[in-house]
Amino acid sequence: AQSVTQLDSQVPVFEEAPVELRCNYSSSVSVYLFWYVQYPNQGLQLLLKYLSGSTLVKGINGFEAEFNKSQTSFHLRKPSVHISDTAEYFCAVSDPQGGSEKLVFGKGTKLTVNP
Amino acid sequence: DSGVTQTPKHLITATGQRVTLRCSPRSGDLSVYWYQQSLDQGLQFLIQYYNGEERAKGNILERFSAQQFPDLHSELNLSSLELGDSALYFCASSPGTSGSRETQYFGPGTRLLVL
């Protein structure tokens, strides 16, 4: 069964600093990878996704992620964060070969951007 | 705004009761997913419907059931409620034409509190 590990439950950073949120997945087959963001009291919104091709994926709000098959990782990065990036970030996988399009989520990383 | 609507936003009820959560997918989307978000379990897939038919089941309790109607809206029924059912319940939708590569669009959620 697929699983996703987000190594940091909380990440505090200062405004304009770079940030990396780590995600590792466990699967013996190819997967599709997603990062979602959840702002306080809101639903989840897609930041970016990796399906195939270039391992560097660019998303909305200046975020990008790099797929590393050998390390089974899909870390999310932003070179300079803003106060408005304070939110919870979820890494998720889906199985291209599976009979369902369900997403398997990590436990989430709470990013707090301080002035 | 994702285009997915969920009602009600908040629900407070007592143990042993039954509630119904409602979801309207984005216009044209055929797939509907239900997820439960709780502090201890994180985000867990419950069930998926595609064009009125059940497509996949996840960690859904027998006390829970769902259905998708001809107009594609979906309802999640929770019965014999227990304190541990208190959680945020999300509905998501996707077109249903491109498998697990599709982006799932999430509604704002229904927050259920069982007292």
pLDDT of residue A27: 75
How many residues are recorded in chain B?
Answer: 115
List the single residue in A with minimal CA-CA distance to B47. A102
Q: Is some CB atom of chain B closer than 8 A to the CB atom of A46?
A: yes
Across chain A, which distance is largest between two alpha carbons, in Å? 46
Q: Which of helix, strand or coil describes residue B11?
A: strand
Residues of B in contact with A51 (CB under 8 A): 101
pLDDT exceeds cutoff 90 at A22: yes
Smallest CA–CA distance, residue A110 to chain B, in Å, is: 13
DSSP state of B103: P
pLDDT of residue A95: 84
> Rounded mean pLDDT of A40-48?
92
Smallest CA–CA distance, residue A19 to chain B, in Å, is: 23
Determine how β-strand B10-13 pairs with β-strand B31-38. unpaired
CB contact (8 A) between residue B108 and residue A36: no
Please, which residues have CB within 8 angstroms of residue B51's CB and are 6 or more apart in sequence? B30, B31, B68, B72, B96
- Residue A115 pLDDT grade (very low, low, confident, very high; cuts 50, 70, 90): very high
pLDDT of residue B33: 97
Q: Which of A76, A82, A86, A75 has its CA nearest to residue A111? A: A86
Q: Which of helix, strand or coil describes residue A93?
A: strand
- Residue A1 pLDDT grade (very low, low, confident, very high; cuts 50, 70, 90): confident
CB contact (8 A) between residue A43 and residue B48: no
Whether the CA torsion B94, B70, B74, B107 is positive or negative: it is positive
- Closest partner residue to A96 among B2, B90, B100, by Cβ? B100
CB contact (8 A) between residue A45 and residue B48: no
Q: What would the pLDDT profile of B64-84 be if each residue is shown by its tens digit?
A: 999 999 999 999 999 999 999
- Residue A34 pLDDT grade (very low, low, confident, very high; cuts 50, 70, 90): very high
Smallest CA–CA distance, residue A9 to chain B, in Å, is: 12
Q: How far, rounded to the nearest angstrom, does the alpha carbon of residue A16 sit from its chain's CA centroid?
A: 20
pLDDT exceeds cutoff 80 at A8: yes
Question: Which secondary-structure segment (H or E) carries A111?
Answer: strand A109-114
DSSP state of B99: G
- Closest partner residue to B58 among A43, A46, A102, by Cβ? A102
Average pLDDT for runs of 10 along chain B of length 115: 94 98 97 95 94 93 96 97 97 90 94 97
Q: How far apart are the first and last CA of chain A?
A: 41
How many residues are recorded in chain A?
Answer: 115
**CA–CA separation, A13 vs A3, rounded Å?**
27
Peptide bond into A96 cis (omega under 30): no
Q: String of b and e for A78-91 (b: at least 16 CB within 10 Å)?
A: beebeeebbbbbbb
Q: CA-based angle A37:A22:B46, to the nearest 5?
A: 50
pLDDT of residue A114: 96
Contact B24, B5 (CB under 8 A): yes
Interface subset of A 53-112, CB within 8 angstroms of B = 90, 94-96, 98-108
What is the average pLDDT value for chain A, to the nearest integer? 93
pLDDT of residue B100: 83
